[in-house]
A and B are shown apart, each in its own frame.
Chain A
């Protein structure tokens, strides 16, 4: 496999054909990831597709890097070498995002997420009706099979009214905090292999909030009822999507169902969807059976003032 990686490095011009292979770190995680450290101090990531094809990830990186060149690793090449599909991206040195311990870190996070939401709404918006709506009924049935949900059909009917008002926006697809890094005060967004699988606005933000809240819906609502960083981000997102914050919270079961359907279809292990199913069960237990988006359960303050001291997200 080093032979394939070497040829990829030669083809992108990182090394000459006669150069020795640069020092590397390799990680086996189903597919093989190689980090090559080049003589000029830069590094590139070479991913060798052993378990899966890498086309989806490449397409996601191309679209995302085009929209956010400072925040997404640049894809350099995808090609077949020695019967392996090999994807090369430019490396971006970064620190892990969490924990958000300082005001500066929270400020970076807030501005970075708002930039992501703004850019996504502009660059990834699509016309017409979102394709996620076509899969939602089946997704709700699938999610309903994982939790006891007597109000599922009623929810499925009520949620339809959003289909005509929410303009589709292609979503990252796995916008959890562990897929975000920080470099020089800028957020770096990784893991674009599920990009464009879902186009229901708010999905990415819901996944991010859940990953910051131990996948607890109640903790998200509690945070949104204060002048918190989360509240400011949610209000920013809702303004972009032209919905109210309670609407966003009411859509959480739809987000959960689409998450479960998509991850199951793409072959993710069951533990990935179990956490989201747990959140769905919590949402069901909190909401009255006939509750809608005007339920007091979902009532949160209007846009909080920006003067509120940000709370630690974790």
Chain B
């Protein structure tokens, strides 16, 4: 069941104040004005100048000043504060191999932020990107991270999926349910619409985050 149309409208329980538009920018704004892609990586980065390794084309450089682009085939010399895997396994053969390689490049306490496609996405939902054909389930991503030395693994959904998401939502029910309820409300379906009733059930059971096409998985190197 796709929520694409619904989520093109901002949910009512997200920030109700609209974007501001006056002419007095704070620091770090030049990249935002030019291209907002990559903001999801700045969201999790510990600092704007932290050392970042980017796998795939996630546009982290729009927001972070110290980004090295590479893949896991290249020899590892440096330790990074943040490794970004944007719909890419960096020429690794499997997800486990890619996460293992990413973990080796992280300093202790560093973060791996992985944007990936959900194998459980609804039929007909737009694919986030054509860059990488491999897909995994939310559980698959999380367990692969846990197997390869990452802790505090957290699942988020990104919407719309792909390079330019507007929303990042924690999959925990306390944050996901208000988000999807608001998205459903904005569809203005009839009270007894089967689509509405099934969607409500999926929302209350907190299934919705696990069937969204765009996922973001974050883990910390122990």
- Known: A37-B178, A52-B26. Is A192-B167 also a contact (CB below 8 A)? no
A47 near B47 with CB under 8 A, answer no
What's the least CB distance linking A195 to chain B, in Å? Answer: 11
CA A2 – CA B154 in complex, angstroms?
Answer: 14
Contact of A34 among B15, B27, B46 (CB under 8 A): B15
Q: Determine the chain A residues whose CB is within 8 A of the CB of B165 once the complex forms.
A: 28
Pick from B29-37, B93-101, B116-124, B142-150 the stretch touching chain A: B29-37
Q: Which residue of A lies closest to B46 (CB)?
A: A3
Q: Determine the chain A residues whose CB is within 8 A of the CB of B80 once the complex forms.
A: none
Q: Determine the chain B residues whose CB is within 8 A of the CB of A23 once the complex forms.
A: 170, 172, 174-176
B18 near A191 with CB under 8 A, answer yes
Chain B, interface residues (CB within 8 Å), range: 35 or more
What's the least CB distance linking A82 to chain B, in Å? Answer: 7
Q: Determine the chain A residues whose CB is within 8 A of the CB of B29 once the complex forms.
A: 50-51
Q: Within 8 Å of chain B (Cβ to Cβ): is A168?
A: no
What's the least CB distance linking A1 to chain B, in Å? Answer: 5
B185 near A96 with CB under 8 A, answer yes
Q: Within 8 Å of chain B (Cβ to Cβ): is A107?
A: no
Pick from B6-14, B132-140, B193-201 the stretch touching chain A: B6-14
A31 near B20 with CB under 8 A, answer yes
Q: Determine the chain A residues whose CB is within 8 A of the CB of B169 once the complex forms.
A: 24-26
What's the least CB distance linking A203 to chain B, in Å? Answer: 18
CA A195 – CA B182 in complex, angstroms?
Answer: 27
Q: Which residue of A lies closest to B27 (CB)?
A: A83
Number of chain A residues whose Cβ lies closer than 8 Å to a Cβ of chain B: 53
Q: Which residues 194-235 of A sit at the B interface, judged by CB distance below 8 A?
A: none
Q: Determine the chain A residues whose CB is within 8 A of the CB of B172 once the complex forms.
A: 23, 37
B19 near A31 with CB under 8 A, answer yes
Binary contact readout B154-184 vs A (1 if CB under 8 angstroms, 0 otherwise): 0000000000011111101011101100000
Binary contact readout B34-50 vs A (1 if CB under 8 angstroms, 0 otherwise): 00100100111011100
Q: Among the interface residues A20, A24, A47, A83, which one has the most CB atoms of the partner chain B within 10 A?
A: A24
- Known: A2-B44, A23-B175. Is A30-B12 also a contact (CB below 8 A)? no
CA A43 – CA B168 in complex, angstroms?
Answer: 17
Inter-chain residue pair count (beta carbon < 8 A): 148
B185 near A52 with CB under 8 A, answer no
Q: Determine the chain B residues whose CB is within 8 A of the CB of A93 once the complex forms.
A: 13, 178
A25 near B22 with CB under 8 A, answer no
Q: Within 8 Å of chain A (Cβ to Cβ): is B77?
A: no
Q: Within 8 Å of chain B (Cβ to Cβ): is A45?
A: yes
What's the least CB distance linking B82 to chain A, in Å? Answer: 12
B16 near A25 with CB under 8 A, answer no
CA A49 – CA B20 in complex, angstroms?
Answer: 8
Q: Among the interface residues A3, A37, A73, which one has the most CB atoms of the partner chain B within 10 A?
A: A37
What's the least CB distance linking B137 to chain A, in Å? Answer: 21
- Known: A24-B175, A94-B12. Is A30-B26 also a contact (CB below 8 A)? no
Q: Which residue of A lies closest to B157 (CB)?
A: A25
Pick from A53-61, A153-161, A301-309 the stretch touching chain B: A53-61
Contact of B175 among A28, A29, A37, A96 (CB under 8 A): A37
CA A47 – CA B36 in complex, angstroms?
Answer: 16
CA A190 – CA B48 in complex, angstroms?
Answer: 31
A267 near B166 with CB under 8 A, answer no
Q: Determine the chain B residues whose CB is within 8 A of the CB of A31 once the complex forms.
A: 19-20
Q: Within 8 Å of chain B (Cβ to Cβ): is A84?
A: yes
Contacts A/B (CB < 8 Å), 30 sampled = A1-B42, A2-B44, A22-B174, A23-B174, A25-B11, A25-B167, A25-B175, A26-B167, A27-B10, A28-B39, A33-B15, A45-B17, A47-B15, A50-B26, A50-B29, A50-B32, A51-B25, A51-B29, A52-B22, A57-B17, A84-B28, A85-B26, A94-B12, A94-B16, A96-B185, A96-B186, A99-B188, A181-B12, A268-B21, A269-B21
**The 7 nearest A-B residue pairs measured at CB:** A33-B15, A30-B19, A23-B172, A23-B175, A23-B170, A29-B19, A52-B20
- Known contacts A49-B20, A51-B26, A84-B26, then 12 further A-B pairs from the complex at CB < 8 Å, ordered by chain A residue: A24-B169, A25-B179, A28-B36, A29-B18, A31-B20, A32-B39, A32-B43, A52-B26, A82-B47, A83-B26, A95-B12, A267-B23
Binding site for B on A (CB under 8 A): 1-3, 20, 22-35, 37, 43, 45, 47, 49-54, 56-57, 73, 82-85, 89, 91, 93-96, 99, 174, 179, 181, 190-193, 266-269
